[in-house]
A = this chain, B = another copy of it.
Amino acid sequence: MSTHDPRPARPALPELVTPAEVAALFGVDAKTVTRWIAHGRLPGVRTPSGHHRLRRTDIDRLLKDAGSASAPPSS
């Protein structure tokens, strides 16, 4: 029983990035990123005005799935 309430209930605010950021990472146009969200291909939040924002964690997950390098072009 902790006499004190540390109140560490930190919801860990997700780091939101702009479509331009994601576009630069994927090597596509920012408009394409918004299109991905619009088509439900990519999870993203929307500002009350209609601007898109994406969670860096989601983006990082997609990028890490690439399996960077370690693939010698030999059989």
Which positions in A face B, CB cutoff 8 Å? Answer: 9-10, 12-18, 20-21, 24-28, 36, 39-45, 47-49, 53, 55, 57-58, 61-63, 65-71, 73
Contacts and interface: CB of A to CB of B under 8 A. Distances in A.
A34 B17 CA distance: 19
B41 A24 contact: no
Nearest to A13: B24
Contacts of A41: 48-49, 71, 73
Nearest to A48: B41
Contact of A58 (B27, B40, B47, B69): B69
Given A42-B71, A62-B73, 18 more contacts: A9-B20, A15-B25, A16-B26, A18-B27, A26-B47, A36-B48, A41-B48, A41-B73, A42-B73, A43-B69, A43-B71, A44-B66, A48-B62, A55-B66, A55-B69, A57-B68, A58-B68, A58-B71
